[in-house]
Structure 1
Amino acid sequence: MHTPHAHRRLALIDLGTNTFHLLIVEMPTTPGEKPLVLLRTKAGVRLGEGGISQGIISPAAYARALHTLAGFKEEIELHEAEEVRATATSAMRVTRNGPDLVRDIFEQTGIRVEVIPGEREAELICQGVRQAVDLGTEPHLIMDIGGGSVEFIIANQATIFWKRSFEIGAQRLLDKFFPDPSGVFPAAAVAAEQQYLSTVLEPLIEALQQYRPVSLVGASGSFDSLADMQLGQLRTESQLPPHTELAPGSFQESYRHLLSGNHEQRLAIPGILPMRADMLVVAAVLIDYVLGVSGITRIQTSAYALKEGLLAEMLAI
């Protein structure tokens, strides 16, 4: 008779537009215990590069996705995880060949990918952030800047007051406002992006006036990079603390630094992941815009996002 692990091992995959994440945990046998993290890793796939603005996943990005998932599959087998939950977001939601990629992933790896809507993505991100940051009773603005979409959630530890997903991710902003990423991001491009945001983010501006959140909590991605820049050191996924306080002065300094340099100079900034060097510029303009319209002065970062939200949800069931 075959006896499985006494402990159930679970793999969670978040197929984002920029980054694919893999989290492998051993589930607790006693309720209330925390799962044991066996592996936490990510790969820069840039699924949206060279195509998302045209509604397509480019052949090179498509190949990178399949290659990355073949590697994840090896890790899953190595760690003997019996159960796999994989979710995909903006790039797979909106592209014409997204469904083909879902099918090819299943045929090549046996991994079933669930493409989730933006509203559901926002909910899971909020759940994940709550595992890293105690939101207490006051409302906070949670923000997750993906490559394809950006989620905004106004919530406290118990309640989501408002949530919305906008298809204005960093890859899209890059395609739209930064035609020459090798150079400096000119003041005119900053102004054009701000003008665009003021139109697209009208529903957010209304919600901010209604709920008046006390802090900005940035989830993973660009916010991890800003926390690394504050420290002046690039950290791996497993080295990042769940929660970091980002000094407002530190953000403004990073923002100025990012805007003043060209691509080569951005690459040289300590704490920057090469893949994010240009995206971080358009993301920082977005963060600065949100700080401006909300009047928020406190910034916190959460290393936890969608996959931790999925895990928290599975533990609660």
Structure 2
Amino acid sequence: MSTRKAAVIDMGTNTFHLLLVELNESGFKTIYKEKIPVKLGKGGINQNQLAEDAQKRAFHTLKHFKNLIDGEHIDQVFAFATSAVRNAENGLAFVQKVKEDIGISIQVISGEEEAQMIYEGICLSGSLNGQIELMMDIGGGSVEFIIGTSQEVFWKQSFEIGGQRLLELFHYHDPILPEEIAKLEDYLQIKLAPLLEAIEKYKPTGLVGASGTFDTLTDIYFESMLQCKLTGQHVFELPVDEFEKIHQMLLSKNKEERLLIPGMIPMRVDMIVVASSLIEFILRYVPVKSMTCSHYALKEGAISRVMKQKVTI
């Protein structure tokens, strides 16, 4: 069986992911993976700028990733950037400097392309079961929503309302104040009007959350049940009544207290309050008893494309 190696670098607004894989005819095997809280959008995202400190963190991380890629003798590298870079006025200059100084070519993907790749990642995880689902991925810069089945996408859209943006716009006090939550919900009601119309039209009966915040919420849930996630498991169920308990707990605690919650990781502790509030908002329109949480998302969608050779890398 012939094999080849490939690398995926997902340059998110909050987190950079590196995934090194070995590909063959039957699928892929992860050689190595790492995630680093670069916080590329911090300090400039709502001004459409990549702050100087954020760029320094990005360069440091990308040099580290390049060393790991070279160590595995991988020459097929698919690096892509999302909301923070595509909206930044200095995003193109940043991409050019990375190419010149580090030798990594970055593809800046559109919001629609990001949504499609997230869908492909969710499909790869086996999260979809035939019903019409609303799928969502909460990033630092943008949030992608997809309505569809395992066979097709009926509707998809990316909204520039990611966790870092919402954090800087609404989360001024810690614990967050009820009036800040109220303002956040009013904002979502306006910004997500196209999504609410699509929900009314296609009437999804399931909710699938991809990666990131949903990984952390399921970690907290499993810890509360004194259970461990199984190695190699990519799909998890989170009962909505258990999510509600976690959500209320997150609203009531400050950062230091949230860090002490079993299952919490430091890179999620700032944005998880507004991200959880966004999920709470969505559940009003897609009332389910349980959420499906897919560990696979954007980077696995990229791997799916590499396996199918839909893209040249």
Relative to the length of structure 1, the TM-score reads 0.93
How far residue 314 of structure 1 moved from its aligned partner, in angstroms, is: 2.1
How far residue 240 of structure 1 moved from its aligned partner, in angstroms, is: 6.8
Q: Does residue 136 of the first structure (1) align with residue 129 of the second (2)?
A: yes
Question: Which residue of structure 1 lines up, in the alignment, with residue 7 of structure 2?
Answer: 11
Choose from 220, 245, 248 the match for 1:253: 245
Amino acid at match of 1:259: L
Rounded to whole Å, the distance in 2 between the matches of 1:313 and 1:170 is 27
Q: Does residue 186 of the first structure (1) align with residue 177 of the second (2)?
A: yes
CA contact under 8 A between 2:207 and 2:286: conserved in structure 1?
A: no
Secondary structure in 1 aligned to 2:129?
A: coil
Percent identity over the alignment is 43
Choose from 97, 108, 113 the match for 2:106: 113
Rounded to whole Å, the distance in 1 between the matches of 2:134 and 2:165 is 22
User: How many corresponding residue pairs?
Assistant: 308
Secondary structure in 1 aligned to 2:233?
A: coil
Q: Deviations over 1:73-122 (max 9, x none)?
A: 11101112120001110000001111121112112221100000000000
Choose from 84, 87, 97 the match for 1:104: 97
Where do 5+ consecutive residues of structure 2 fail to align? Answer: none
Where do 5+ consecutive residues of structure 1 fail to align? Answer: 1-5
Amino acid at match of 1:12: V
Relative to the length of structure 2, the TM-score reads 0.94
Secondary structure in 2 aligned to 1:147?
A: coil
- Spell out the pairing of 1:25-64 with structure 2 (5 A cutoff): 25-28=21-24, 31=25, 33-64=26-57
4+ residue segments displaced more than 3 Å: 237-240
Q: Give the CA RMSD over aligned residues.
A: 2.1
Which sits farther off after the overlay, 64-73 or 307-316? 307-316
Question: Which residue of structure 1 lines up, in the alignment, with residue 170 of structure 2?
Answer: 177
CA contact under 8 A between 1:154 and 1:160: conserved in structure 2?
A: yes
Question: Which residue of structure 2 lines up, in the alignment, with residue 243 of structure 1?
Answer: 235
CA contact under 8 A between 1:8 and 1:82: conserved in structure 2?
A: no
Rounded to whole Å, the distance in 2 between the matches of 1:311 and 1:36 is 11
Q: Deviations over 1:190-228 (max 9, x none)?
A: 111111111111111111111111211111111111011
CA contact under 8 A between 1:25 and 1:37: conserved in structure 2?
A: yes
Question: Which residue of structure 2 lines up, in the alignment, with residue 3 of structure 1?
Answer: none
Question: Which residue of structure 2 lines up, in the alignment, with residue 215 of structure 1?
Answer: 206
Amino acid at match of 1:290: I
How far residue 136 of structure 1 moved from its aligned partner, in angstroms, is: 3.0
Which sits farther off after the overlay, 154-163 or 133-142? 133-142
Secondary structure in 2 aligned to 1:22?
A: strand
